Amino acid sequence: MIAIIGGSGLTELANLEITRRKIVRTPYGEPSGPLTFGRIGTQEVVFLARHGYGHTLAPHEINYRANLWALHAQEITRVVAIATVGGIAANLGAGTIAVPDQIIDYTWGRPSTYFEGSEQPVTHVDFTYPYNEDLRRLAIASAKDAGLGIVDGGTYAAVQGPRLETKAEIDRLERDGATMVGMTGMPEAALARELGLAYAHLCVVVNPRWWRGMAVRDVLRMGHPVLREKAKPVEHFGTAELRDLLQDMKDTMAAKNGAGLAAPQIGVGQRVVIFGVDKNPRYPNAEEVPFTVLVNPKLVMLTREVEEDWEGCLSVPGMRGVVPRYIKLRYSGFDIEGDPIERVAEGFHARVVQHECDHLDGILYPQRMTDLSRFGFNEELFPGEELQDE
Ligand code: HPA
């Protein structure tokens, strides 16, 4: 029989036909909860929610020894452990599933062996390859069959938690060779090995950590849920976090040759936009717009008059559409140190500001269009021209 240990957010399996639940006691105390027995298709499985059924146990409070012992006592031979992780390697974006092949253990103070106490012989299990390769292959093949993209291999850093790591700590984990970080992988994997259970990890990336220190960030594309959300006002000015965000936004905008960028476009739901267009001989028609950083912006339209013109967006790459915008407005807000900014803008400058501030309310330019016949691909609309996006 196979056991599935569910991680954060996975306290039940949707397709599990439950046959019974069983409370198991062990010489090491109580497991995180009762074991749930059932079937997925024809496969008999036992399920255990690692953090308890109401998600009440922090990673360092989990009785790993009792959990694995309880499963072992059910004549289980294989354990697929599902866990959420932070992605450190650049290919581990949010939602990616990874099946690591190595572990580095940074946890401390967790009872992590069955081989202790006067009745137990000292035993050093081989843990060179911490995961069972056959079970890894099976997990990878099944995920592929189910149409899920999967990253085969990687090194799981098991950290103590429950807090998340500092930037320097993630830097260190990366230097150590870790590609993902989680809080529950150890001693779980080692205890499974001590009991002779085949063990593999299915790691779901919930928060990519790889962008830290890497200035050019991926720009989210239309359809991504973050682009539809209303961003939150910045509450604290002059912080290192805000400076880092601004640096990333500037570098990303420069690398992608954009005319503007809003924080949600790089996945940060805060009310921060930047924009600016230099006089550039490559774009003789683009009016100059002063480089501006605007935090918590407010717009006041100074006219009802609108004008239509083409727009592009880094979140709608390769496309252009005609968008009506107000031709004159006053914008106000703050720079990242909290100093106020107020300006009147017209024409292209006013257009760029409206486009960027729309991002903070979850609006992309196609939602402002009134005539979709003037929406299309750059290469078809403007063959041979180089264009800037916002
Ligand atoms: N760090 C540690 N554990 C985690 C993380 C993280 O960023 N995300 C999910 N589990």
What is the distance between the alpha carbons of residues 221 and 252, in angstroms, rounded to a whole number? 14
What digits encode the pLDDT tens for the residues 120-132? 888 899 999 999 9
Residue 343 in any domain: the answer is yes
Q: Are 89 and 176 in contact (CB under 8 A)?
A: no
- Is residue 185 located within the same domain as residue 243? no
For the cut 60, the answer to whether the pLDDT of residue 212 exceeds it is no
Residue 107 in any domain: the answer is yes
Contacts of 58 (CB under 8 A, 6+ apart): 51, 161, 162
82, β-bridge pairs: 202
- Is residue 144 located within the same domain as residue 290? no
- Is residue 201 located within the same domain as residue 229? no
For the cut 80, the answer to whether the pLDDT of residue 285 exceeds it is no
Looking up residue 118, the CATH number of its domain turns out to be 3.40.50.1580
For the cut 90, the answer to whether the pLDDT of residue 387 exceeds it is no
The closest residue, in CA terms, to atom 7 on ligand 1 is: 86
**Segment holding 355, helix H or strand E:** helix 347-360
- Judged by DSSP in three states, 89 sits in coil
* pLDDT, averaged across the chain: 91
| Confidence tier at 3 by pLDDT (50, 70, 90) | very high
pLDDT value, residue 111:
96
Q: Are 324 and 368 in contact (CB under 8 A)?
A: yes
pLDDT value, residue 281:
55
- Residue 356 annotated among the catalytic residues of the structure: yes
pLDDT value, residue 346:
96
- Is residue 13 located within the same domain as residue 160? yes
For the cut 80, the answer to whether the pLDDT of residue 300 exceeds it is yes
Residue 326 in any domain: the answer is yes
Tell me whether the omega of the peptide bond preceding residue 187 falls within 30 degrees of 0, making it cis.
yes
- Give how many domains the chain has, as a whole number: 2
Q: Position 63: which residue type?
A: N
Cα 259–296–331 angle (5° rounding)?
65
- Is residue 94 located within the same domain as residue 199? yes
**Nearest ligand 1 atom to alpha carbon 59:** 3
**Segment holding 142, helix H or strand E:** helix 133-145
| Confidence tier at 143 by pLDDT (50, 70, 90) | confident
What percent of the chain stands above pLDDT 90?
73
Among 181, 208, 235, residue at a domain's last position = 208
What percent of the chain stands above pLDDT 70?
96
Instruction: Tell which one of 10, 103, 165, 202 to mutate to probe ligand 1, the residue whose CB is within 8 A of the most ligand atoms.
Output: 165
- Is residue 54 located within the same domain as residue 150? yes
Residue 76 in any domain: the answer is yes
What digits encode the pLDDT tens for the residues 77-90? 999 999 999 999 87
Among 208, 240, 266, residue at a domain's last position = 208
Residue 389 in any domain: the answer is no
- Is residue 158 located within the same domain as residue 277? no
Ligand 1 centroid to Cα of residue 143, in Å, is 22
Residue 13 in any domain: the answer is yes
**Nearest ligand 1 atom to alpha carbon 209:** 7
Question: Ligand 1: does its nearest atom lie under 6 Å from the Cβ of 8?
Answer: no
- Set 174, 311, 356, 390: catalytic member: 356
Q: What are the phi and psi torsion angles at 204 (to 5°)? A: -100, 120
- Is residue 252 located within the same domain as residue 170? no
Residue 325 in any domain: the answer is yes
Question: How many residues in total does the chain contain?
Answer: 390
The range of the structural domain enclosing residue 131 comes to 2-208
The closest residue, in CA terms, to atom 9 on ligand 1 is: 85
Tell me whether the omega of the peptide bond preceding residue 233 falls within 30 degrees of 0, making it cis.
no
Q: Are 250 and 336 in contact (CB under 8 A)?
A: no
For the cut 80, the answer to whether the pLDDT of residue 216 exceeds it is no
Q: Are 28 and 111 in contact (CB under 8 A)?
A: yes
- Is residue 185 located within the same domain as residue 62? yes
Maximum Cα–Cα distance across the chain:
86
What is the distance between the alpha carbons of residues 73 and 1, in angstroms, rounded to a whole number? 11
What digits encode the pLDDT tens for the residues 318-368? 999 999 999 999 999 999 999 999 999 999 999 999 999 999 999 999 999
- Is residue 137 located within the same domain as residue 256? no
DSSP letter at 259 equals S
Question: Ligand 1: does its nearest atom lie under 6 Å from the Cβ of 260?
Answer: no
- Is residue 74 located within the same domain as residue 184? yes
What is the distance between the alpha carbons of residues 222 and 343, in angstroms, rounded to a whole number? 30
For the cut 90, the answer to whether the pLDDT of residue 91 exceeds it is no
Question: Ligand 1: does its nearest atom lie under 6 Å from the Cβ of 120?
Answer: no
Residue 173 in any domain: the answer is yes
Please count the other Cβ atoms lying within 10 Å of the Cβ belonging to residue 37.
18
Looking up residue 347, the CATH number of its domain turns out to be 3.90.45.10
What digits encode the pLDDT tens for the residues 14-68? 788 888 999 999 999 999 999 999 998 888 999 999 998 777 899 999 999 999 9
- Specify the residue for token string 């040759």: 257
The closest residue, in CA terms, to atom 5 on ligand 1 is: 86
- Is residue 272 located within the same domain as residue 303? yes
